[in-house]
Structures are given as structure tokens and as C-alpha cells.
Structure 1
């Protein structure tokens, strides 16, 4: 019998689903020297996840990171491995979904499929899998694993996912003779809880990444750069497939009661306390030394990475942030993964100010109304 997932899950009824993003890493999504920056101790992760669970958020999403971004803060240089992290979070919560983020080039699919099923059972079916094809050569060098050409990484990932799904579904041993894997007599038990496999997420933003997501993922995390272009991008994605694929984005929340206070807070986090050295390093990796990018664009990228590791800015008053989220929903976005400067200290603002505004806008229902 397939278990009924609780209301806080990714399959819940809220029009705009919300989650916390990056709390397993030092600094979270923010490259700042501000003293309140995020400390990813296990106690803090557990507290933040329980706050999100109690408030009715749908998910927590970790970042798979092996090397930090240097600079004065070495943001994300300290991190928990995501599958064991997700297992611990799931064991300590009741309704929220937790994702494991996996670099598929660094782990065998047979081993990973077993790990994922274990976490799926621990969480009563609330585990999801964020599939990452890889982009950071330095991290792959730590494992002595060669980085494949960009589009080929997605071919590898598709083979990896195909194997994992067969492991979860098939009751008899099978052989697999592919381009990257040649496996014999593959069989693994138990199967996912209730015969419902983990939800699959992908965050590929290139044409090859989008094509992979259209064929394989339940939801795609899109790189949102320009709010005005989101509706067209979502429409193009959904026109490419006959099945329903969820469209999600990630954003960093820097909000205060008024726009002026929010601007002052942003200036404090980024301009007064930003880790410019770390931002220089991450932008160099992201742009791969492309010298044709205008200087003003490079400066914008550095600021955006200090504020939120390149995610979409949710910066402004409480009303402005709620309005931005409404516009994203109207453009077709199904949910947002949100980074906070401090996931515990800032969470009451999200819970007590932003969520009620989203409820009044018809994007979410009060959690107490669905948690019976």
C-alpha cells in the first residue's frame, strides 16, 4: 500500500512550495563576514529543519560541496555529506521532505540506490534525490575522477539514473551494458517505501541539462536571472514534454519591514561585510576566465554571489518580497528554495511575516488547516 505523504511534503497542495536551501554548508548561501553568518553545526541544522517542518514548509535542500570558495570565510568549506544528513533530518522531523544531493560521477549507482532507499524508509517516503552532473573540476580532482565534456556529463547521468530506477523497480537480477556502466546480476532490496521512488530533481540550466530534466526529472531547479523572462522559459520547458514537470527556483532572502531597512541590511551583509576575495574565486570558476564579460557584469555577479551564491534576490520589504514571490508563481514557478543569512535567527521573519502574506495572496494555505 502506498503511504499517504503528509501535507508538508513536496506533493502537498500549496501553489507555491517553499524550502530551506544550503543549510548543511558553512555560510549557507551567503558569502559574508557578518558575525551572524550561518554556522552549520548539526544542532543548528536540526533546529532549522524542525522550525521549517513545524511551519509547514515543504522541503530542505542541501548543497553537495567538497571544496569551499576560499576567501576570508571559505563559504561552504565546511559541509555535511548530504545522504547521511538527509537521513538524520528525516528521522527527526515529521512532514517535511529532505533531498540528498548527489554528484553522480563520484558514486556508483548501485551503492547510491541502496543508500537512497535506506533514507527513503527512514523518512517514511519523504526523501528526494537532487541529481548533479558536476561542474567543479577541483572537486572531481579530489576523487581522481576525470571531468567529462559538458554535454557528455548528462549522458552519463542519464545512464546512472536509468540504473538506479531499474534497481528500485525490478524484482529479478538484471545486467546492464551501457556506455559508462557494465553491470552483472544487479538486484537490491528493499524497494522504495510503498513502491514510490524518491522524487528526482535536476538543476541543469544548459540546453543539455534542460533536455535531461525533461526526460527524467520530476522537477527542475531553474537559474532565475531576469524575472521578466521566467514565464517564457517555463512555457518553453513545459512545451517540450507531455508530462508535468515542476519548475522551481532558488533565492536569497534579505528582508526587513521597509524597503529602506532592507537596503541597509543588504549593504551591511554585502558591502560592509562581504567576502570579496571569495566572490572573486567563485566568479572565476563560474565564468571559467571568460574575459569577454563586461566589468559591470562581473561586479554584479560578485555581489549576487556574496548575497546568495548567485541565486535570485528576494530583497526588499516584507510586502515587496511577497509580491516578487507572487510574480514568480504567476510566471509558472511552483516553488522556491530559500537561503537565509542565519536559518534560525531569520526564520521567524519568514514564518511570521512572509508566509501570512503568501496565504493572503492565495499561494499557500495556513499550515494548521492542513496538518490534522
Structure 2
């Protein structure tokens, strides 16, 4: 397997802290200034990407703030110069023509640094309270497959005529196209069979939730064995990091956050009631005690600086190209990681890392 250079990203704080919502070291802040300043600092420190998760209402604490992903991504694209901006998208929320036009606009604002991450929605309340259809699990993926097939062709500059189950489009072409490459990069997350099949067919990068190395290897092997047109699929991994001078210091911080997270149990029970029980990743998360979202510390990136770097290198050798990391307290840990772990990964503590690679020039699927 040919592996691309290791890249490191950070989740934008679109709905507050990732580990515990009552941490005195990380007061709740999902504001635009906090998101803006976090991403600008990440870029200055040498991080390669940021992921802007999409929710219309805060999925953890509905009474709290929530950044809107696509307007925020456009603003970040205008303010930054090098970092890749990845905006998540739930297909039911936007018609494919509208979303494709938005994606191409942000691609132009960023001069070719934009990507979108298709995710299958899990928070029923976000849709049902708005009167937006929320289909069964596999129905949502069938809708997403048709939706993404249209979007991928539109952002690639094609004139699209399409008659499908959900959309009818006639001779539609969007301009301007990407200024520097074939189209924006497409990420896709999910663990079910429909998610894996769609990733193999139509995405550039498959996002894996935080899991032990052997489980990640098995998932990559499954995806890599599937038929596919064009370049091989690349892989990203979400993970919560706790890195310290010693393993004991890291474990002490892990237990501090775990104890704080326990205080959020009532809110998490309410969240579970709003969650589609058929979402496969929810069953995966239930297998482990962890800190953070999207698998969090299940990836094992808790330890000394040397241990965390060694484990990341092992994931990289297994095929992980991009690590999308979570920290708490976010800003200080962002700096700590850049100072102490970046050099152990063979990159400077600060500076300009390798440029983001362009997706293949030919259409996928």
C-alpha cells in the first residue's frame, strides 16, 4: 500500500468542548470568534486541516450555541491561507444543486483548499422538529448515494441531466469550477455496509471513528478490497489526544476528564433518546469507555509524547493519512501537541507542512 504523507487536523469547536461539558479548564464556547481564532492558530502552528461538523442545533446540549458549518467554512476559507477546510454535510438539508454551488464557491474562496464530508445523520430531533424527513438508516444512505452522485458530477464541472428516485435535474452546469484542480475533495464517514460501499464508489477519503489499531486495520482491509475506479481510497482517523511528558501524567488527565464527563450523564441520556439506534457507530462506541466524541480515546492516543507519536506512526503505516484530532482544553493542548509531538513525527514544531494534495483529475465512480 502506498501511503501519503502523514497529515494532522483538528476539529473546530462548533458545539463546545469534546470531552466534558463542565470542565473548569475549558468553559463552554461555541462562538464564531473562538472557532475563528482556533483555526487561525492551528494553521499558524502547522496543522494541515480542520473539520467543521454540521448541526443546526447543538446535538449534545440543545440549549447551547451551535456554529453553522457552511457559512463558517466560507468565512474560514477567506481568512486562512494554507489549511484545508472540511465542512460536514447531511444530504437531507440541502438540494444537491444548491450544495454543489456552495461547495464550488468556497473552493474558489479558498483557492482549492475546500472539502466536504458527507455524513449520515443520527440526531432524529434535529430533523423531526423541523419537519424534515428522516428516513430509516438504509433509506438515508440510498438518498445520500443519489445525492452525492449528482453533487460529485456538478462540482467536477459536468453538465448534469439526472432522473432518479429523489431528484430530477435537466442540463445543469455550474460555473466557475475549481480554480486549481478537478474538484473539491470528498470525505465520507460511517461504519455500516451502505456507508462503506458508498465510500468505495464515490469518495476520496474514508473517515474512521477512533478505534484500536487492529480494528482500523480490518476496516481499511475491507475498503481496500472493494472494486473502485481511479486512485485508491485514502483514510482518515478521528481521535482524542492526551499527551504528556510521562504516561502517568497522561493517565491522570484522562481520569480527570473521565470523571468530569460522568457529570454529563443526564444530558447524554437525553441525547441517546434522540439518536437513531440503527447507527452502527453508536454500537461501536458502546464497546469502550472513552473520552471525546467520534471514538475519542478508543484510538489509544493517551500517553507520553513518545508513546503518542509511536502509536500515530503505527496507524500511519496501516494506511491512515489524516488524523483529525480533539483536545481539551483545546487551545493549550493544540499548542502542546505542536510543540512536543510534531517533532517526534518528523515535522517542525511550527512552519509550513507539505501542501494539500489535489484529488484525482478524473471523475470517481
TM range (shorter): 0.7 to 0.9
Q: Distance in 1 between matches of 2:300 and 2:84?
A: 24
Cα offsets for 1:326-361 (capped at 9, x unmatched): 2211222112100111331211111101111111xx
Q: 1:101 to 1:186 in 2, by over 3 A?
A: same
**Equivalent residue in structure 1 for 2:34, among 27, 35, 44:** 44
Q: 1:15 to 1:185 in 2, by over 3 A?
A: closer
Pair 1:32-2:21 in alignment: yes
- TM-score of the two chains, using structure 2 as the length reference: 0.85
Q: 1:287 to 1:136 in 2, by over 3 A?
A: closer
Q: Which runs of 5+ in 2 are unaligned?
A: 356-365
Could you say which residue in structure 2 is the equivalent of 1:250?
238
Could you say which residue in structure 2 is the equivalent of 1:5?
none
**Equivalent residue in structure 2 for 1:120, among 107, 127, 144:** 107
Q: 1:52 to 1:14 in 2, by over 3 A?
A: farther
Could you say which residue in structure 1 is the equivalent of 2:251?
263
**Equivalent residue in structure 2 for 1:276, among 240, 258, 265:** 265
Could you say which residue in structure 2 is the equivalent of 1:210?
196
**Aligned residues: CA RMSD:** 2.8
Pair 1:330-2:317 in alignment: yes
SS at structure 2 position matched to 1:116: helix
SS at structure 2 position matched to 1:148: coil
Q: Distance in 2 between matches of 1:368 and 1:309?
A: 29
Q: 1:283 to 1:226 in 2, by over 3 A?
A: farther
Query: Offset at 1:143?
Result: 2.9
Decide whether the 8 Å contact of 2:7 with 2:48 is kept in 1: yes
Q: Distance in 2 between matches of 1:186 and 1:157?
A: 19
SS at structure 2 position matched to 1:288: coil
Count, aligned residues? 344
Query: Offset at 1:60?
Result: 0.2
Query: Offset at 1:84?
Result: 1.1
Q: 1:45 to 1:321 in 2, by over 3 A?
A: same
Could you say which residue in structure 1 is the equivalent of 2:51?
61
Could you say which residue in structure 1 is the equivalent of 2:174?
188
Q: Distance in 2 between matches of 1:259 and 1:75?
A: 36
Decide whether the 8 Å contact of 1:250 with 1:338 is kept in 2: yes
SS at structure 2 position matched to 1:200: strand
Decide whether the 8 Å contact of 1:44 with 1:344 is kept in 2: no
Could you say which residue in structure 2 is the equivalent of 1:315?
302
- TM-score of the two chains, using structure 1 as the length reference: 0.83
Query: Offset at 1:369?
Result: 7.1
